[in-house]
Amino acid sequence: SGASLILMDQPPTLETRPCPPDATAAERAALGYNALARLAAGRVDAFVACAAYLRGLGLSAPKVFASDPAAGLAILEDLGDGLYARLIEGGADEAPLYESAADALVVLHTAPSPDVLTADGALWPLLAYDALALKTGGDLFVEWLPRLRPELAFDAAARSEWEAIWEPVRARGEAGAAVFCHRDFHAENLIWLPERAGAARAGLLDFQDALRAHPAWDFSMLLHDARRDVSAEREAAVLARYFAARPGLDGRAFTADFHALGALNILRILGLFARLVARDGKPRYRAFMPRLWVYLDRCLTDPAPAGLGDWLARHVPAEARG
């Protein structure tokens, strides 16, 4: 047909060993960060199994023409170059793009979420984004921001307060972990496919780290986008579209969860970027950090999570939020 294909070449390594579904916290700690955070680290079997699940729902994940997970190889459909991020940079109307992204999340959040995904010999457990995985990500902030900002020091009392703020939020996240969560659902991983219809107009990429998570998580990834400004108006429009498609949902409770888990996610990303700059020598990530503080302020208009605004005011002064 002349259509181009993509070769996925990601041989398994010790670092990409999957987290056993029944591993204890101590066992996950021994296995390392990927197991603690429940990351797939680019495994082909995860990608193939997730792609089959998404396509089975009528969503636009790449078709897998052939795969050999043991060798880390797969031949994939090329969804084209209509990346949301590049189209928006070029001045495209972002409204239909975000509408289709919201429609895709409606499909995901109203579909059954199996414990195990299978396809063509690939079998992948869809683990919960549990409290330990949420803590592993969120604590990057207190672990790494002081290494980027030496004037900050989070002593034992500050860390104890931090834990008290987030423990109930993480519990809400784990209790609500009921839907397939893409986990990297943002404009760099979405392809515009205008020739398709409805939710299928949003092509999906880079979903191999998927978990079963609270439905608010992927909304935070989409609307708290570190690499581009998403306005409060766009955020409100996307959530309104989602609520209209799910009339039985308690929109007020969902919004509170979106703000609480969104704040955790934003701080996780700030910590991740601090690590990329301070440890990995990638200074370009520093430029994204001020935008994340703007999103965090938006989340803090909601009273949840209790105490976070006060904690930040005492421990992270405004001049350290660049």
Residue of 272, 239, 270 lying closest to 256 (CA atoms):
239
H-helix segments, the chain:
25-31, 33-37, 44-56, 84-89, 94-109, 131-138, 140-148, 156-175, 216-223, 232-245, 251-278, 289-299, 308-315
Domains and CATH numbers, the chain: 81-115+124-320 (3.90.1200.10)
Cα–Cα distance, 304 to 171 (Å, whole number): 13
Tokens of 48: 């193939």
Cα–Cα distance, 265 to 257 (Å, whole number): 12
Cα–Cα distance, 220 to 182 (Å, whole number): 11
Full 3-state SS string of 38-59: CCCCCCHHHHHHHHHHHHHCCC
pLDDT of residue 19: 84
Taking residue 152's Cβ as centre, other Cβ atoms within 10 Å add up to 15
Residue 8's alpha-carbon distances to 65, 123, 284, in angstroms, are 11, 17, 27
Taking residue 80's Cβ as centre, other Cβ atoms within 10 Å add up to 13
pLDDT of residue 2: 59
The pLDDT averaged over each successive group of 10 residues in the chain (322 residues) is 84 76 94 91 87 98 93 95 98 98 99 90 89 98 96 96 98 98 98 98 97 98 98 98 98 97 99 98 97 97 86 95 84
Return the amino acid letter for 249: L
Q: For 5, which DSSP code?
A: E
pLDDT of residue 14: 67
Are 214 and 178 a contacting pair, CB within 8 Å?
yes
pLDDT of residue 17: 73
pTM: 0.96
Tokens of 5: 């294909």
Cα–Cα distance, 133 to 170 (Å, whole number): 9
Angle between helices 232-245 and 94-109 (to 10 degrees): 40
Are 159 and 56 a contacting pair, CB within 8 Å?
no
Tokens of 199: 């939710």
pLDDT of residue 129: 98
